[in-house]
Amino acid sequence: KITAVTGAANPVTGPYFNFSTPEPTGIVAIAAPDDPLLGLVSVLAPAIATGNTTIVIASEPAPLPAITLAEVLATSDLPGGVVNILTGHRTELTPWLASHMDVNAIDLTGVPHEDIRDLEDTAAENLKRVHRPTTTDWTDDPGTARMTAFLETKTVWHPVGV
């Protein structure tokens, strides 16, 4: 349904039909917030619901809910490799993910505010989408912003008539 919300048939002058459709960005690295389960699911679900593959750094002070979720996902219908959960120190793992050439986007929700700027600069060196945290109140209406943050728009031109 996200295609119906974010896609469009674009009006153009000339004998062309033009439409835009959203596509997954690819591999999304996510620094999960310290809210062990609700925060984790709130940042993970939008990325995989739009077709992306994820690498998630679990909450540093409370990684157990993330590990339990990994066991649940391993026995679910989710294809293997869609959700990859890492445990460890965020300060050690996030610079590697921000600079890695195979990571297409990074969600900095769980990163301390003082580290965000450095990680944005690192991610910019290899043209990566960066999602900055806007709210950490997981009970608010999420809207579609977190889902559309990890989508790219493909526009197709097709000749009409003749």
| pLDDT class of 140 with cuts at 50, 70, 90 | confident
Q: Which DSSP category does 145 fall into?
A: H
CA–CA separation, 120 and 116 (whole Å): 6
| pLDDT class of 32 with cuts at 50, 70, 90 | very high
CA–CA separation, 73 and 22 (whole Å): 26
Cite the beta strand spans of the chain per DSSP E. Answer: 8-10, 16-24, 27-31, 53-57, 83-86, 105-107, 129-131, 151-159
| pLDDT class of 117 with cuts at 50, 70, 90 | very high
> Looking at the predicted structure, is the pLDDT value of residue 17 above 90?
no
Q: How high is the pLDDT of residue 158?
A: 87
> Can you name the CATH fold of 26-150?
Aldehyde Dehydrogenase; Chain A, domain 1 (3.40.605)
What phi-psi label fits residue 127: left (phi over 0), alpha (psi between -120 and 50 degrees) or beta? left
Q: What percentage of the chain reaches a pLDDT higher than 70?
A: 99
Q: How high is the pLDDT of residue 79?
A: 94
* Mean pLDDT calculated for residue range 122-144: 83
Q: How high is the pLDDT of residue 8?
A: 87
Does pTM surpass 0.85?
A: yes
Of the listed ranges 33-47, 63-77, 129-143, the one predicted with least confidence: 129-143
Helix (H, G, I), strand (E, B) or coil at 66: helix
Express each pLDDT in 54-96 by its tens digit.
999 999 999 999 999 999 999 999 999 999 999 999 999 999 9
* Mean pLDDT calculated for residue range 3-23: 87
Q: How high is the pLDDT of residue 106?
A: 96
> Looking at the predicted structure, is the pLDDT value of residue 9 above 90?
no
Parallel, antiparallel or unpaired: strands 16-24 and 151-159 = antiparallel
